[in-house]
Amino acid sequence: MARNFINLDVNPCKMCMPMGAAIAFKGIEKSILMMHGSQGCSTYMRRHMATHYNEPVDIASSSLTEQGTVYGGENNLKKGLRNTIQLYQPKVIGVVTTCLAETIGEDIDRLINEFVAEEEIAKDITFIPVATPGYGGTEYEGYYLSLRKMVERLAEEGSNDKVNIIAGNLTPAEIRRIKEILESFSISYNLLPDISKTLDAPYSKDYQKLPDGGTTIEEIKSMGGAKATIELGALLDEKISAGQFLEDEFRIPLYRVALPIGLANVDKFINALSKVTGAKPDPKLTEARGRMLDAMVDSHKYNAQGRAAIFGQPELVYSIATLCLENGLVPALLATGAKTSKLEELLKKDFGLAVEDTVIIDDTDFDTIRDYVNKLDVNILIGHSDGKFITERDGIPLVRVGFPIHDRVGGQRKVTIGYDGSVNFLDEITNTLLDRKYSSYREDMYDKHFTG
Ligand code: SF4
């Protein structure tokens, strides 16, 4: 159910497109992002990423001023690119636009072509331009569109035995977990993007401007010859799907599955891997699945009391909603800042969601979310840390998940995917409900209900 009668966003439940691009490009080996726009945009992205991942994050900016805004930002962009190459010596530069650059009509494809033709220092560098006006979508679209542009720019026709995995916006620890699952199938793969080290690097005395790790250019090239693609993104529009491009351009079979959170979604991911490899899951995975079933039985009696508001980027909201539905929690409110009609459509189709029990809002803000949270008698919030002010004002606890988590450590290490990750996450949700119950049951029993 969409609520469209206000045009003003108060605390939007989203970030802008270049934010998603910044995360995607951090997963490419020796890559740096150049943001064509005013300086504040790159500061905003760096601040979000540095407090969530607890890593130093460098993002270059063309620092458009009044002059560049009026006469065009060509000189700023080219000077910025020269400085960036000298300072960082990257292999890849993602060049993304911002609100300002798009509004003044900057043609970054042309500017980059000119720069490459003019500058000797640019000849060994791969440039990947992506149009990401801040107002053109959210971090969700910016993230997936950047992956698609990388593949469009680099993937080559060929034939190899690899499987492409297009990862959703997961944590570095979750990317490590995906790799463990892939390795348990003994397959060779291209994982795009790979932030497992670049945004969660081991301690080192020497500062590296561009940390080790990330998907290599050669891996992206070989995606054009892989035997299959598994894309983690159930709600994705085809226009921003890298897997769709690989299927259309190179006829690579595409399996699109949800982020593997919750029993059904993890099963679908594992089944897709079994299908493309022809191999059975490792016994350790089967055991972990059995433990998950056991954990679900253990906690279901407590979860029936849960009425959850789930918010964040659409893929995460979808997968967490399914985890709730599998475990008897009512997903009373599902909210995302992106525009999508697929959330409701898929939840009805795949999980028999009864829409009369659930309000679904897209393109929304936290003011609207808070209204619904109170109207719908929600007793647990599940989402990123921007929802914490509802906890502060209304006392409803927040289980933190997704991006960004600014007010806790460990956002980059959180694992909610796979059977074991889902169990830990479910335990956290159940224990939050128990905590709330035990901290208020005397008051509920005597003060609210006893009228004698
Ligand atoms: S919304 Fe626009 S101006 Fe604001 S940070 Fe994003 S790109 Fe920059």
Pocket residues: Cβ below 6 A from ligand 1: 16, 18, 37, 41, 44, 98-99, 134
For residue 44, the ligand 1 atom closest to its alpha carbon is: 5
Please state the CATH superfamily assignment of the domain spanning residues 163-277 in this structure.
Nitrogenase molybdenum iron protein domain (3.40.50.1980)
What's the 13 CA to ligand 1 centre distance in angstroms?
15
Domain coordinates of the chain in residue numbers? 17-140, 163-277, 283-448
What's the 64 CA to ligand 1 centre distance in angstroms?
13
Quick one: 364 exposed, middle or buried, by C-beta within 10 A (0-12, 13-18, 19+)?
buried
Do the first three CATH levels of 163-277 and 283-448 match, i.e. the same topology?
Answer: yes
Residues 91/121, Cβ–Cβ less than 8 Å: no
What's the 32 CA to ligand 1 centre distance in angstroms?
18
| Residue to mutate (ligand 1; options 17, 33, 41; most atoms within 8 A of CB) | 41
| Residue to mutate (ligand 1; options 15, 23, 44, 138; most atoms within 8 A of CB) | 44
Q: Rounded to whole angstroms, how far apart are CA atoms 65 and 114?
A: 22
Q: Rounded to whole angstroms, how far apart are CA atoms 44 and 413?
A: 22
What is the band of 1 on the pLDDT scale with cuts at 50, 70, 90?
very low
- Tell me, what's the pLDDT at 312? 97
- Give the mean model confidence (pLDDT) for residues 426-437: 96
pLDDT in tens, 165-189: 999 999 999 999 999 999 999 999 9
For residue 98, the ligand 1 atom closest to its alpha carbon is: 7
What's the 347 CA to ligand 1 centre distance in angstroms?
32
What's the 98 CA to ligand 1 centre distance in angstroms?
6
Q: Which residue has the higher pLDDT, 65 or 115?
A: 115
For residue 38, the ligand 1 atom closest to its alpha carbon is: 8
For residue 132, the ligand 1 atom closest to its alpha carbon is: 7
Nearest CA, atom 5, ligand 1: 41
Quick one: 136 exposed, middle or buried, by C-beta within 10 A (0-12, 13-18, 19+)?
middle
DSSP string, 134-158: GGG-BHHHHHHHHHHHHHHHH----
Nearest CA, atom 3, ligand 1: 99
What's the 99 CA to ligand 1 centre distance in angstroms?
6
Per DSSP, what are the bridge partners of residue 231?
A: 166, 256
What is residue 260's DSSP assignment?
Answer: S
Sequence letter at residue 325 = L
Q: Rounded to whole angstroms, how far apart are CA atoms 57 and 295?
A: 38
Q: Rounded to whole angstroms, how far apart are CA atoms 181 and 173?
A: 13
Please state the CATH superfamily assignment of the domain spanning residues 17-140 in this structure.
Nitrogenase molybdenum iron protein domain (3.40.50.1980)
DSSP string, 8-55: --SSBS--BHHHHHHHHHHTBTTEEEEEES-HHHHHHHHHHHHHHH-S
- Tell me, what's the pLDDT at 9? 80
What is the band of 440 on the pLDDT scale with cuts at 50, 70, 90?
confident
CATH fold group of domain 283-448: Rossmann fold (3.40.50)
Q: Rounded to whole angstroms, how far apart are CA atoms 361 and 79?
A: 43
For residue 45, the ligand 1 atom closest to its alpha carbon is: 5
What's the 127 CA to ligand 1 centre distance in angstroms?
22
Quick one: 118 exposed, middle or buried, by C-beta within 10 A (0-12, 13-18, 19+)?
exposed
Residue 349 CA: distances (Å) to CA of 289, 312, 345, 354: 24, 21, 6, 10
Q: With 60 as the cut, is the pLDDT of residue 263 above it?
A: yes
What is the band of 437 on the pLDDT scale with cuts at 50, 70, 90?
confident
Residues 28/223, Cβ–Cβ less than 8 Å: no
Sequence letter at residue 373 = V
Q: With 70 as the cut, is the pLDDT of residue 51 above it?
A: yes
Q: What percent of the chain has pLDDT over 70?
A: 96
At 222 the three-state DSSP class reads helix
- Tell me, what's the pLDDT at 175? 98
